[in-house]
Amino acid sequence: MSKSISILDKDYAQWLQDLCKRYRQSQIKAAMRVNKEMLQFYWSIGHDIVNLKAEYRWGSKFIDNLSRDLKEQMPDSNSFSPTNLLYMKNFYLMYNQLFEFTPQVEEQLFDEQITPQVEEQLKINIYSVPWGHHKLLIDKFLKEPQKAQFYIQQTIENGWSRSMLLNFINTDMYERQGKALTNFNATLPKITSELAQELTKDPYNFAFTGITQPYNERILKDALLNNITHFLTELGTGFAYVGKEYRLQIGQTENFIDLLFYNLNLSCYVVIEVKIGKFEFSDIGQLGGYVVACNHQLRKEGRDNPTIGLLICKEKDRIQAQYALESSSQPLGISEYDLEKFYPEKIEGTIPTIGEIEAKLSEKTGYR
């Protein structure tokens, strides 16, 4: 039996690997094209059902009759069950609300005027998500298309599977995203402050730690790092772990940052202090000092943006926290955490690769 050429010729082996990689990429692109064509077709069916007022014209059994007739005409297709046809109708009804709105709804959905380019990008995003994801979103948000749009964008950015999407919906991510109390708008450039704000949450859900008994800060921080994949996922896209109890020599004093991260999207260090008690004024002074120290000792001019600080505590008085933030010239945020939500077992698509880090540092409807 002759030996494989790849064993004898390194150039051939490399070419073979390249062919396999190109084949897999072509499969992914083909699947995306098929998904887009299928969703455009489903959209058109939903459009026709709604705009023809089909159920009014042809009776309450219209969906069942259409299903039977389509199956007779196209027996090889399994897409035309009554349930799926109803999903197609609601697929159109839900997302079409994004394109037909009053000025008040427009202001709620977007900060910019709706242009043909923005509308086209919305449709591209809609057609980039698998049908199973859309069915889940229709079940949850038929009357709330802005929430569906949010989860579509998150799915695209993070590569969520359907189970991942469901789990993040169940942890109320839409309601928590960007909700930390911060002074970013006063301490960062407008574009940076908006991006930094969107990367925050309030509260953070630390249920993945499994803590149910009395605990101290060390136990909580150890539990966070023992579940680092879940922790990075909860923090959001682009966070890279740098260190725990990160040592900074400030003058003659040793100081230790609870948790230090680098965010690739913001190109900056992120100092995180975790407190198991209620927020106090002194917490902001400590956090701000660490941020300044990181800017002096770690930040590289021309590479890194100013360091950001985030305090995650068990409880805060919003007025007291706001006053504290106004007293600081450093970009800081304050959030709470809880231990009562559930997270999926499998996490994927949200953690930057080593290459990225190195490159940067150098159903509520009546379905049948």
Annotated domain spans of the chain: 11-96, 101-170, 176-360
What's the predicted TM-score (pTM) here? 0.74
Q: How much is the average pLDDT of 16-31?
A: 73
The highest-level CATH class for domain 176-360 is alpha beta
261 φ, ψ (degrees, to nearest 5): -130, 165
| Residue 47 pLDDT greater than 90, yes or no | yes
Query: What gap in Å lies between CA 265 and CA 239, rounded to an integer?
Result: 8
- Spell out a b/e string for 64-100, using b for 16 or more CB atoms within 10 Å of the CB, else e: eebbeebeeeeeeeebbbbebbbbbbbbbbbbebbee
| Residue 112 pLDDT greater than 50, yes or no | no
Q: What is the pLDDT of residue 116?
A: 64
Percentage of the chain lying above the pLDDT 90 cut: 60
Percentage of the chain lying above the pLDDT 70 cut: 84
Give me the amino acid identity at 231: F
Q: What is the pLDDT of residue 325?
A: 97
Q: What is the pLDDT of residue 364?
A: 41
Q: How much is the average pLDDT of 122-146?
A: 92
Q: How much is the average pLDDT of 60-67?
A: 91
- How is residue 10 written in tokens? 């390194």
| pLDDT, greater one: 280 or 79 | 280
Please write the tens of the pLDDT for every residue from 264-289: 999 999 999 999 999 999 999 999 99
Please write the tens of the pLDDT for every residue from 157-198: 888 889 989 989 998 999 999 999 999 999 999 989 999 999
Of the pLDDT bands very low, low, confident and very high (cuts 50, 70, 90), residue 346 is very low
Q: What is the pLDDT of residue 117?
A: 65
Q: What are residue 262's DSSP bridge partners?
A: 240, 269
